[in-house]
């Protein structure tokens, strides 16, 4: 990311418009900004090679989910996962499995979402792929929030406590704060 609030390829930084509802579901505080970002990414997709397509599909899947274009989000993310697998890009595969889980959760396909988060966690903790460990706390966080939505409070607290332990070791204050908020929600829901 650059200091101008854009990604290195000049796609708009969606984190600048992230907001969360009472269930900690992410949405766009500025849907027009995200719609413009989607249009830009879609225009670039037309001429993208395989590596660029993978990155754009992940971006589009996330952006479309943020503004409620869920079928489009799912289609982009399924394509991103297929591309990641074909290219042997395990990091992109895990990231996009988590994103797809979120899209499925937003479609109220909670069982599918949980399965995807558990798949991502399995990939992130595979002892033969230690580089994927960086996604473990993310998979746990999303799984925990999914469990909250299923009213499986105790299980959610256990999963989120594991995520918090990892995030404290990693030291990213924003991620720690996010997990603490999810734990508060689990304890009060």
Alpha helices in 19-152 (DSSP H): 31-45, 50-66, 70-87, 90-106, 110-124, 136-149
**The domain at 109-189 falls in which architecture?**
Alpha Horseshoe (1.25)
Per-residue tokens: 187: 């304890």
Q: Would the CATH topology of 1-108 be identical to that of 109-189?
A: yes
pLDDT given at position 189: 82
Residue 4's pLDDT is 34
- How far apart (Å, rounded) are the C-alpha atoms in residues 82 and 96? 10
pLDDT of residue 10: 79
Q: Are 121 and 140 within 8 A, CB to CB?
A: yes
Counting as low any pLDDT under 70, the low residues of the chain are 1-9
Distance in angstroms (rounded) separating the CA atoms of residues 93 and 101 = 12
Instruction: Report the distance separating Cα 181 and Cα 167, nearest Å.
Output: 13
* 1-108 belongs to CATH 1.25.40.10: yes
Q: Which residue has the tokens 């990641």?
A: 84
Q: What is the reported pLDDT for 40?
A: 97
| pLDDT tens per residue, range 99-130 | 999 999 999 999 999 999 999 999 999 999 99
Residue-range domain boundaries for the chain? 1-108, 109-189
């Amino acid at each position: 990311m650059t200091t101008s609030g854009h990604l290195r390829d000049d796609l708009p930084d969606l984190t600048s418009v992230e907001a969360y509802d009472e269930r900690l579901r992410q949405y766009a505080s500025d849907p027009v900004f995200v719609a413009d970002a989607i249009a830009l990414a879609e225009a670039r997709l037309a001429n993208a090679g395989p590596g660029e397509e993978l990155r754009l599909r992940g971006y589009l899947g996330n952006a479309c989910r943020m503004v409620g274009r869920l079928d489009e989000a799912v289609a982009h993310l399924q394509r991103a996962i297929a591309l990641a697998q074909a290219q042997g890009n395990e990091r992109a595969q895990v990231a996009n499995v988590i994103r797809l889980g979120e899209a499925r959760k937003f479609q109220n396909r909670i069982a599918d979402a949980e399965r995807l988060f558990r798949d991502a966690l399995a990939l992130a903790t595979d002892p033969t792929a230690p580089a994927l460990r960086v996604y473990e706390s993310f998979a746990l966080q999303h799984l925990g929030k999914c469990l909250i939505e299923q009213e499986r409070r105790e299980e959610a607290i256990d999963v989120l406590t594991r995520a918090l332990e990892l995030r404290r070791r990693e030291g990213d204050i924003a991620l720690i704060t996010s997990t603490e908020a999810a734990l508060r929600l689990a304890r009060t829901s």
